[in-house]
Structure 1
Amino acid sequence: MDLTVSILYSLFVFFLLTTMYFFLGYRSSRKEWSQQIKQWYPEEKGKVLLVSGVTDLINENRPIN
């Protein structure tokens, strides 16, 4: 009985360590992928300026009460 418990515990620890290893590998590959996407498609900063310009135009055309 004691031998089976120790074997099961050892298998559980091995499974836990391999799961953590593959999870960390997945996270690092995901970071690399997101960095490549940012390189291919850089963020466009003009969109915020466009939206603020449109709201300024809307506010200019409103009558003042």
Structure 2
Amino acid sequence: MHALGEHLAVDEARPGQEAHRGPVSTSCVGFGVERWLHALADHFGGDWAPAQEAVEKAGTSPA
């Protein structure tokens, strides 16, 4: 998908491949870090110490 490149009219020129020129694309994976932070803040009432402990505990727990 080249929506960003097309919308902003930004194209890429690859050295030696000028015939393949086209709109740039992004590599956003969409994890939604802001959403995770908001959910943690909401769940722990804005107290980041227990939120951090929960994240660290989850990172060491077996899957």
TM-score (normalizing by structure 1)? 0.31
TM-score (normalizing by structure 2)? 0.32
Larger-Rg structure: 1
Greater share of strand residues, 1 or 2?
Answer: 2
Q: Which has the higher contact order (CA 8 A, sep 6+)?
A: 2
Greater share of helix residues, 1 or 2?
Answer: 1
